[in-house]
Structure 1
Amino acid sequence: MKTVIMVVAHKKFPMPDKKGYLPILVGAVKNYRTGIEYQRDDEGENISAKNPNYNELTAVYWAWKNLKDVDAVGLVHYRRFLFASKPYKLSNVISIDKVEKLLSKYDVILPKKRNYYIESNYSHYIHAHHQEPVDTTREVIKKEYPQYLAKFDQVMKIRKAHMFNMFIMRRDAFESYCTFMFGVLNKVENQIDITNYSVQEKRVFGYLSELLMDVWLETKAFTYTELNWGQLGGKNNVKKAISLVERKIGIKTKTHFK
């Protein structure tokens, strides 16, 4: 079994020194600097130019269209990884051997769900971002992908979700996921105008895809397991908690913290 886990970055950063991890530079035309010897997301068939709107999904698209000689594909972030055990440090990210052992039993590996406690996934989205994109997403699914609508509505009502666009999938699951996710996002992109969105809010399709993961997973009924995730440099839990309360009372604030 051949497994590749992409480590998405927009700049040079310490990377895992382990078999199977592939550093990939997203938004490569803009972000490349001398000395960054990563795989670029602008080679072959790609949507690299859409990185300001699609975030790490430009790496996912690159793998979908170009990384054909592998049995499993994964994505993590340059500061956020999956771990089988503590401590959460670069030298202890999950090994490919452990990943492949899990993939012999499950189709998909995901980070543990994020719990929003006081609000649903839909409420969290519309308090953090513009409402039109998520409502348009529902309309697209209702019209073009009706078999996914029941699970979309269900996911919007609950308070937990697999976030961050992080995953490791067997190839058949990966193909299914990309076909659905990029199909929906392309249609939403053609129906909304983000010209006047802030730089952060123009990352809209990356935000929407976080919600689509569970919609796809629950509809297709692929088997999955969860791993702990850790953020190198620590998590800004206090800032996130304050931001959540501010958004609930109508104060627009950051939703993503480094």
Structure 2
Amino acid sequence: MVADIKIFVCCHQPTEIPNHPLLVPTQVGAALADRHFPGFFYDDTDDNISLKNRSYCELTAQYWAWKNINADYYGFFHYRRYLYPDFKVKRPYQIKKKPELALLEELGYNDFSKLIQEYDLIIPIGENMHLSVQEHYANSSFHYKKDLDLTKQIVQEFFPEYTPALEEYFLGTISYFGNIFIMRKDIFYNYCSWLFSILNEFDKRVDISGYSLQEKRVDGYLAERLLGGYYTKNKHTFQVCELPRIHFEPNFQKMIKAKVINMIVPPSSNMRANIKRLARIYRNQIDKKKLKIGR
């Protein structure tokens, strides 16, 4: 019997999605949008949390699929970030101009469904940030350490069996970004029940009304880290694998710039981490000077 595999490509703006049987174009935050995109699925039908999209980001599509769609395997991509099946590639991602069917076929999509059925959980290749996951979160723009600390506390209260794995992941330097994954149905249901229970409790305890638009994406930011913790807890029990990503950059000049940067300072390299660290220090100094001037 052929497995029913649905990979929901999450979009907040009209985007060209290749006509491939695995891919399901899905509009996120549809309840907040002026219109529905033609030919897409929408996260505001039936049981949904579409109105929470500004905080939950692509998770509104994840919740909607969990509650309303039946499949054997569920996957979630970002409209500018896909996984592709290649175990020879060691770098976390490569950059291409736009998603096209010919490109996906070149990258192995014709046999992707067979590979998916060999695993329980597939996530992107982890990136070595040369900084612990919790330090990286605390030092990232629009993120608050207190939110991550509260999330750890909630996990300890409601799912204490996950605390050791979460601590292991948070203290490590390998990060799994993007809320991108493919899971077998029963595992996806288990993950969603776990994840949304944690985020729902977080929402009850935190007032984000004073957060900026970027800061209000907090539930999406936290979910990225929780996925890493879930994976760390279960990777020795499930059949798992890590696959590289494609990042799409439709602007030609930006694409070339990103490719050159990745060639000179590859993702996961210590040099890239050091450059980012220096950039953070520089930004902090600039912010301090602006603060003094403001006074």
SS of the residue aligned with 1:222?
coil
1:43 is matched with 45
**Following superposition of structure 1 onto structure 2, how do residues 1-258 of structure 1 map, counting pairs within 5 Å?**
1-33=3-35, 36-68=38-70, 70-84=71-85, 88=96, 90=99, 91=101, 92-93=103-104, 98-117=111-130, 119-128=131-140, 129-220=143-234, 221-233=237-249, 234=255, 235=258, 244-247=277-280, 251=284
Shift of 1:222: 2.1
| Amino acid across the alignment from 1:4 | K
SS of the residue aligned with 2:212?
coil
Over 4 Å off, 4+ runs = 85-89, 94-97, 235-238, 240-244
SS of the residue aligned with 1:154?
helix
Distance 1:141 1:248, change over 3 A: farther
Shift of 1:36: 3.1
SS of the residue aligned with 1:165?
coil
- Identity score, percent: 33
TM-score, scaled to structure 1: 0.88
For 1:245 and 1:179, the matched residues in 2 are separated by 40
Distance 1:125 1:252, change over 3 A: farther
Query: Is this contact kept in 2: 1:127–1:250, CA < 8 A?
Result: no
Query: Is this contact kept in 2: 1:127–1:248, CA < 8 A?
Result: no
| Amino acid across the alignment from 2:201 | K
SS of the residue aligned with 2:244?
strand
Query: Is this contact kept in 1: 2:82–2:245, CA < 8 A?
Result: yes
For the pair shown, the structure with the greater C-alpha radius of gyration is: 2
Structure 1: any 5+ residue segments left out of the alignment?
254-258
Shift of 1:244: 4.8
| Amino acid across the alignment from 2:218 | V
Query: Is this contact kept in 1: 2:32–2:50, CA < 8 A?
Result: no
Q: What do you get for the CA RMSD once the two structures are aligned?
A: 2.5
Shift of 1:250: 6.7
Distance 1:32 1:9, change over 3 A: farther
| Of 23-32 and 41-50, the range deviating more from structure 2 | 23-32
Structure with more helix by fraction: 2
Shift of 1:76: 0.5
Distance 1:151 1:24, change over 3 A: same
Shift of 1:198: 1.0
1:256 is matched with none
For 2:285 and 2:52, the matched residues in 1 are separated by 25
For 1:201 and 1:145, the matched residues in 2 are separated by 26
Query: Is this contact kept in 2: 1:28–1:48, CA < 8 A?
Result: yes
Shift of 1:185: 0.8
For 1:204 and 1:62, the matched residues in 2 are separated by 19
Distance 1:207 1:35, change over 3 A: closer
Shift of 1:49: 0.3
For 1:199 and 1:252, the matched residues in 2 are separated by 24
Structure 2: any 5+ residue segments left out of the alignment?
87-93, 250-254, 263-271, 287-295
For 2:163 and 2:281, the matched residues in 1 are separated by 27
| Amino acid across the alignment from 2:280 | R
Shift of 1:98: 2.8
Query: Is this contact kept in 1: 2:166–2:232, CA < 8 A?
Result: no
| Of 98-107 and 82-91, the range deviating more from structure 2 | 82-91
TM-score, scaled to structure 2: 0.78
For 2:285 and 2:16, the matched residues in 1 are separated by 33
Shift of 1:20: 2.3
Shift of 1:144: 0.9
State the number of aligned residues: 251
